Amino acid sequence: MNFEIPDPSTLKDLEAVAHRVAIACGRLIVDERPAHLEVAATKSSATDVVTIMDHRSEQLAMGLLQELRPDDGVLGEEGVDISGSTGVTWIIDPIDGTVNYLYGIPWFGVSVAAVVGDAGVEGGWRPVAGAVYNPITDELCSAYLSGGARLRGAGKVRDLRFDAPPDLASSLVVTGFSYSSGKRAWQGQIASELLPQIRDLRRMGSASIDICSLALGRADLYYESGINSWDMAAAWLIITEAGATMRGFDTPYPTKRMAIAGRADLAERIVEIIAPRWDELPRDS
């Protein structure tokens, strides 16, 4: 599939917009978190929660994008869905790691990605610029297509380069589990088969930060079933610009059914371990 890629100058501008929006939303959700935060609604299951701050963050992102890039489309996790006329659509996760945020666990982020193609069709879009901001560590990972990836934090900027371990046995693997109990049973079986073959497993609760951890040298492989475009769009670009690959189980792009990231040969080992149980994976979400 061919995608119409903006020129490099525009791509740099898109990264700067993603940077500004991600930080503004990250500051909002930390600085204005109510002392007693309640669940405002649930989505795919009783444990798939939304808070008032998810909505406030998404509204802030939408307002900034309409100011900075008024003719682009916007697609947000919490319901914003605006068509554009430029060929660029912004995909927003206003709080990635909402359960951590609700419980006061200091590990969540904001993901802001500019994509081209059809953002509503799996495999029909590609990220061209993006930013993932962790307001707890004040670290911002960002990238633009063919422009590399970088980390901004503590007043410094450094280029991000992915470096993989020699084999699966020395790999620190990060994953996540679904809000669907049926899928969690399957995910638990996969994790139990994987654990004896890897260094260790981490489940930290924010997919975009989990994926970016590969570019930060904090994990070696990532896999998860059930993440959405807003969880992965910016981080997918960041880690590929840093030198990692990201794929699906049997697709060259990550899908909701399976997203796998890391060095290509080690990602293939994850596929091999999943393959015998692939058809057992519930298709509910």
From start to end of the chain, where are the E strands? 39-42, 49-51, 73-76, 81-82, 88-96, 109-117, 125-134, 139-144, 149-153, 156-159, 172-175, 200-202, 221-224, 245-247, 259-262
- Under the criterion CB under 6 A, does residue 225 sit at the interface with ligand LIP? no
Q: Residue 28 contacts by C-beta under 8 Å, 6 or more apart in sequence?
A: 53, 56, 57, 60
Using the rule CB under 6 A, which residue among 89, 171, 187, 206 binds ligand LIP? 206
φ, ψ of residue 101 in degrees (nearest 5): -60, -45
- Under the criterion CB under 6 A, does residue 254 sit at the interface with ligand LIP? no
- Under the criterion CB under 6 A, does residue 171 sit at the interface with ligand LIP? no
| 130 touches 111 (CB < 8 A) | yes
- Under the criterion CB under 6 A, does residue 205 sit at the interface with ligand LIP? yes
- Under the criterion CB under 6 A, does residue 213 sit at the interface with ligand LIP? no
- Under the criterion CB under 6 A, does residue 176 sit at the interface with ligand LIP? yes
Measured distance CA(40)–CA(38) in Å, rounded: 6
Closest chain position to ligand LIP (CB): 176
Structure-block tokens of residue 89: 């659509």
Stretch of 26-34, 115-123, 223-231, 259-267 contacting ligand LIP, by CB under 6 A: 223-231
φ, ψ of residue 72 in degrees (nearest 5): -85, 160
Quote the least distance from Cβ 67 to ligand LIP, whole Å. 24
Quote the least distance from Cβ 57 to ligand LIP, whole Å. 11
Residue type for position 92: I
Stretch of 144-152, 153-161, 199-207, 212-220 contacting ligand LIP, by CB under 6 A: 199-207
- Could you say which residues in the range 31-90 bind ligand LIP, by CB under 6 A? 77
- Under the criterion CB under 6 A, does residue 179 sit at the interface with ligand LIP? yes
Beta bridge partners of 91: 75, 113
Using the rule CB under 6 A, which residue among 207, 215, 219, 234 binds ligand LIP? 207
DSSP conformation class of 167: S
Quote the least distance from Cβ 179 to ligand LIP, whole Å. 5
| 55 touches 78 (CB < 8 A) | yes
DSSP, collapsed to helix, strand or coil, labels residue 217 as: coil
Using the rule CB under 6 A, which residue among 107, 177, 253, 278 binds ligand LIP? 177
Quote the least distance from Cβ 44 to ligand LIP, whole Å. 9
Residues that bind ligand LIP (CB under 6 A): 77, 93, 96-99, 176-179, 205-207, 210, 226-227, 231
